[in-house]
Amino acid sequence: MPRPSISRAPIRPDRLRRIAGQSFAFMPHRFLREGFLSALAPTELRLYVFLVLAADRNGLSFYGFERICNVLEVDLDDFLDARNGLIDKDLLAFDGTRFQVLSLPSRPVYKPSRPLRSRQDFDSDDPATVRQAIRESLAEADSCRRK
Over its length of 147 residues, how does the chain's per-residue pLDDT go in tens digits? 677 788 888 888 887 777 677 666 888 899 999 999 999 999 999 999 999 999 988 889 999 999 999 999 999 999 999 999 999 999 999 999 999 999 999 999 887 666 767 777 777 776 677 677 788 888 877 777 776
pLDDT at position 48 is: 97
Does the pTM surpass 0.85? The reply is no
Q: Are 25 and 32 in contact (CB under 8 A)?
A: no
pLDDT at position 1 is: 67
Burial of residue 23 (CB within 10 Å: 0-12, 13-18, 19+) is exposed
Greatest Cα pair distance, the chain, in angstroms, is 64
109: amino acid identity, one letter: V
